[in-house]
Amino acid sequence: MTARRRVAVTGMGVVSPAGTDLAATMAGVVAAKATAAPITLFDATNLPVGFACEVAELDVEGRIGAREARRIDRSGHLALIAAADALADAGLGADDADRSRVAVVAGSGVGGLTTLEEQVRLHAERGREKGPRRVSPMTVPMMMANGPAALVSIAHGFTGPSLCVATACATGANAIGEASRLLRDGTADVAVAGATECAITPTAMSAFANMGALSRRSDDPGTASRPFDVERDGFVMGEGAGFLVLETWEHAVGRGARIHGELLGYGTTCDASHITAPSEDGAGAAACLRLALASADLAPADVRHINAHGTSTPLNDAAEARAMSTVFGPGAVPVTSTKGVMGHLIGAAGAVEAVVALASAIDGVVPPVAGTSEVDPEIDADVVVGAPRSIERGPVVSTSFAFGGHNAAVVLAPA
């Protein structure tokens, strides 16, 4: 029997509300510095919820170019910058890999929603006669969900598989996991894997608020996102992008790459029960966790900490806690969630959180959950609050659960 190919992590890149690179993001996460604030991307005066976690001070024109930036949706901007940073971190030069053997798996939950809303508004404002002629010819390539994958492939000349994953809030974790399969089955030597999202738009904010998913703590946005807290009342919308450069272990060693860590395992399932609500017993999420551990050939006791999905919504946090308790035992593993700092990045959440999870494992630290002051007594988990916790370096699990019942988990470990 042929041994399964090992998957090395050689590059990490992230753009988030906590910072426009990995160092700044990790500093904000470990300091539990919440980023929720009134929306500045557009006039949110009349929205039911007017605050979110935005990416600030991002030099898009400097990184991409003014002309090119105008032809790309904001979600594409975030993807290109985060992917470029991951590739730079990997030190992957033009002669370090066969471009036809480099895959790109880049996901998005909603695609170029900013562009879609702008063009629909422009069409309506110009009226029935002029409206159709005023719609930009770049609308379709700017809004299509596969745009970020194509952009990253084009920007770097990668001609291997270029795929889009769209599984709502599980997108980022699924993209990384599916990319690892391309490496393990021999389809590619290198994969640039991650996700991007910018769903801070008037329609998206109104829709999520009206369905009761968003926190309405407008008087104190900084404590609105409080994963696993007894008074949690919904998530805070965020935006961002995260990417990993994955390589077969042989390829990484062969080119003398610095190896940050290893992608040990991946699991994915579906609750198949409800279009928005998770299964209350957490059975689907527990099955996903078991698959991820089995894929990594690990026992629950081998895991040093869990970077939970932890959205700050009543149902999700409770179901996830039940799943963790079922698989790992009550309060057996330190648990954190970055959403108290940077909000919910929807499709990009799992990718950014996977990057943060691995960086945390490398540093031997579990970041505290921002905004959470009193863990719900019904949550039977060791939620880290108040201050970072030092841990032994070792495997970390990053989980993502989504509308539609999609569940995904990746297992990562320091090299």
| H helices present in 157-266, as ranges | 171-184, 202-210, 249-254
* 198 is annotated as an active-site residue: no
Q: How many CB atoms lie within 10 A of CB 42?
A: 14
- How far is the C-alpha of 180 from the C-alpha of 159, rounded, in Å? 17
| H helices present in 139-188, as ranges | 139-143, 147-156, 171-184
**How far is residue 344 from each of residues 47, 198, 200, measured CA to CA in Å?**
18, 11, 11
**Which stretches does DSSP call E strand in 149-291?**
162-163, 190-198, 239-248, 261-270
Q: Which of 251, 260, 305, 344 is catalytic?
A: 344
The answer to whether 271 touches 393, Cβ cutoff 8 Å, is: no
Q: Which two tokens stand for residue 287?
A: 């099955």
* 169 is annotated as an active-site residue: yes
- How far is the C-alpha of 86 from the C-alpha of 12, rounded, in Å? 4
* 164 is annotated as an active-site residue: no
| 297 burial level (CB within 10 Å; 0-12, 13-18, 19+) | exposed
Q: Which of 169, 251, 260, 288 is catalytic?
A: 169
Helix (H, G, I), strand (E, B) or coil at 16: strand
Q: Which of 77, 260, 305, 309 is catalytic?
A: 309
**How far is residue 237 from each of residues 1, 7, 225, 243, 290, measured CA to CA in Å?**
47, 32, 9, 20, 29
Range 228-254 burial, b when 16+ CB lie within 10 A, else e:
bbeebbbbbbbbbbbbbbbbbbebbee
Q: Across the strands, what pairs with 247?
A: 8, 190
The answer to whether 400 touches 309, Cβ cutoff 8 Å, is: yes
Number of H helices, E strands in the chain: 15, 15
**Catalytically annotated residues:** 169, 309, 344
